[in-house]
Amino acid sequence: MLEKLAFLEDKYEDLGSQLSDPEVINQQDLWQKLIKEHAELEVIVSCYREYQETRKAIEETREIMYDKSMEDELRDMAKVELEELEEKEVELEEKLHLLMLPKDPNDDKNVIVEIRAGTGGDEAGLFAADLFRMYTKYAEARNWKVDMMSASESGIGGYKEVIFMIRGKGAYSRMKFESGTHRVQRIPTTESGGRIHTSAATVAVLPEVDDVELVLSPNDVRIDVFRASGHGGQSVNTTDSAVRITHLETGLSVSCQDEKSQLKNKDKAMKILRARLFDQMVHDQQQAIAADRKSQVGSGDRSERIRTYNYPQGRVSDHRINMTLYQLDAFLQGDMDQMIDALITTDQAEKMQSMEQV
């Protein structure tokens, strides 16, 4: 690891020189790319340099502690300082191990979240609406912005399907573990006998994909326009504002009709389609790698039951990390950080273990 850190330090210095080169500055796309890379390396290099300084201080302190010509009081002080320095060395080593873990290139991206009602009829639709509110409140707490993209409502205030975008730095890094099947156990308002029902909803969290990452030519898709139905104001059933985009090779299809503008609906549908295609491509790649299939935390398998929300007991349980919180009300109000932090820590531990086994 130390050899790799030394290499990264040299690369960091080289990038710094390039950023002050007038020829590079004149190439704005290249300059912006190098700035981002330099900033990412700065965190690692700063920690590495602090680690080096700590190790040097340890050596100097040990020399004082074992120097018989030194006064006893000075040697005692050196012993105390050495203990502190060795603790700091361990902490910095752990931090460096985390910083050296392979970084998910999507972590800083915005996300498209798709929630669909599963088994449970109307109750599943209401649960999908609860999940939508939970994620909206979580986004608000982190000063992220939420944009509705598409919604298909059920008759009693729930959703058959709701798709929305969360915009904010690091949104994908914290939301990506939400992909999977969410199960709810509670007494429905329509249940007169007071029996507990189990319903489910599936969540898909997809990173936003731009035109450069996944290029779609007009020949790759078929675009159909039609009249919107349901909510939408005076333009409903009077103009062809709704848009359906179909990817010809895979058959993937996305419809949007929430906006009165055909152009806005087309733009939203294209964003969703591009994200789904990218997600499918990444999923296919992961399926080809045995190590990725073994990962229980970040697999994103939407057939996997990942979490249960039990209303009678006031608990929420994540089955991937065997964690239960008896704070269901707060959790549904967007207080999710304790669970998400635990998922991130577990994922990092698994990656570190995989690196050590290589």
pLDDT per residue rounded down to tens, the chain (358 residues): 788 888 888 888 888 899 888 888 888 888 888 888 888 889 889 998 999 999 999 999 998 888 888 888 888 898 899 999 999 999 998 888 878 877 778 888 899 999 999 988 889 999 999 999 999 999 999 999 999 988 888 878 899 999 999 999 899 999 999 999 999 999 887 666 678 899 999 999 999 887 555 667 777 878 878 777 655 444 444 567 788 888 888 788 888 887 778 888 888 888 888 888 888 777 766 665 444 444 445 544 556 799 999 999 999 999 999 999 999 999 999 999 999 999 998 988 887 776 655 5
pLDDT of residue 154: 83
Contact 269, 244 (CB under 8 A): yes
User: Model-level pTM?
Assistant: 0.69
Report the pLDDT value the prediction gives residue 291, as an integer from 0 to 100.
46
CA–CA separation, 233 vs 237, rounded Å? 10
CB distance 198 to 184 below 8 Å: yes
- Token pair in block for residue 56: 């040097």
Under 8 Å between Cβ of 104 and 348: no
**CB-CB contact of 231 with 148 (8 Å):** no
> Would you state the pLDDT for residue 357?
54
Burial tier of 136 (Cβ tally within 10 Å: 0-12, 13-18, 19+):
middle
- How far CA 204 is from CA of 81, 177, 185, 242, 272, in Å, comes to 51, 9, 21, 23, 11
pLDDT tens digit sequence for 126-180: 999 999 999 999 999 999 999 998 888 887 889 999 999 999 989 999 999 999 9
Cα 134 to Cα 334: distance, rounded to the nearest angstrom: 5
Which CATH number does the domain 111-212+297-357 belong to among 3.90.1490.10, 3.90.79.10, 3.30.70.1660, 1.10.3720.10?
3.30.70.1660
Q: Calculate the alpha carbon distances from 349 to 305, 323, 343, 345, 354 in Å.
A: 22, 16, 10, 6, 9
Q: What is the pLDDT of residue 296?
A: 45
Query: Domain segments of the chain: what residues?
Result: 2-99, 111-212+297-357, 218-285
Task: Report how far apart the first and last C-alpha atoms of the chain are (Å, whole number).
Answer: 13
Relative to beta strand 305-310, strand 180-186 is parallel
Contacts of 182 (CB under 8 A, 6+ apart): 127, 131, 200, 201, 202, 203, 306, 307, 308, 309
Q: What is the pLDDT of residue 317?
A: 97
Token pair of 26 as six digits:
């004149």
Whole-angstrom distance, CA of residue 204 vs CA of residue 222: 24
Angstrom distances, CA of residue 197 to CA of 109, 125, 128, 191 = 37, 13, 15, 9
Query: So what's the pLDDT on residue 70?
Result: 80
pLDDT at position 81, please? 92
Does domain 218-285 fall under CATH 2.160.20.10? My reply is no
